[in-house]
Structure 1
Amino acid sequence: MKALTTVFFALLVCVACKAPKEDSPIEVAFSPDAEHIEEINTECFRYVGNKDTVLLATHIDGTNITGTLDYALFEKDKNSGTIEGVIRDNRIIAEYTFMSEGVASKRQVVFKNTDEGWKEGFGEMKTVDGVPVQVNIDSLDYTHKMALTPIPCD
């Protein structure tokens, strides 16, 4: 009887070890699938020309977008900040919160995906609740040469 109990216990241990394993939250967070999804949803873009540089790093979650946006335009104050908004009709429409000369500011930015790359749209602006926004997003001018093209994200 003692031998039968030992065999039964050994069999029970073997079956228990074969049960489906639940991943810990840490394993799930660092799984290759999670890293791959993060990589797919993160994109970086840059414009360099005429002593100007613009860098845009985006993270896309459905139609929502967040990221960073940095301007280093020749003979102008450097702006560095974050964007938060949506992607709609082949455009990024976002609020840009940035620092320039130690002062925090906000304004709306709109980028359109063109054949040349992402181009910022310019047009008449008005202030709504203290934030400059475009009067008419559908009539913005994208004819300038400053197109942000894809680059590897660091």
Structure 2
Amino acid sequence: MTNNYTYDDVSEIFKTNGYVNVTFTKKDGTERNMVATINYIPEDSLPSSTHSTKDPSKPFTTYKCFDVEKGEWRSFSLSSIISISPITVQEYVVGKTIEKMYFKGIPEYDDIPYANIQFNDGARIQFEATYGSYSGFSKDEYPAYINCKILPKAED
């Protein structure tokens, strides 16, 4: 299957969206669906260098991104893309059943800023609340923002 996606097209989709759902044909001919990002990379998975050894005069034919379900870097051939579209965290969890949920606090504070949710298919998401300032009384604090991100799938 041929498509007209250029590296710049794919790069723009990834840069302007938190998560992207990509369906492509693998080298072995099987179809693969991947939820990926270039925006929400765990600290321990950040590349050690952004320097490329690729010859800039040759066009890019593959795209490298972070597979959020596997928790690893992956790449795919631009010519193998079947479909590519943004996906929200809400769309990612629709139809899934919550299997377990746990809260995580920071030892030196009385706040519990993290809520991790695991679903029946191993999918996981995390809610994180951050606070603007500390008054000394938790009842006086309000979150400055609440972030939600997709975590790698749980191991079976």
Instruction: Give me the TM-score of the superposition, normalised by structure 1.
Output: 0.24
* Larger Cα-atom Rg: 1
Q: Considering Cα pairs closer than 8 Å and 6+ residues apart, tell me whether 1 or 2 has the greater RCO.
A: 2
Q: TM-score, normalised by structure 2?
A: 0.24
Q: Whose strand fraction is larger, Structure 1's or Structure 2's?
A: 1
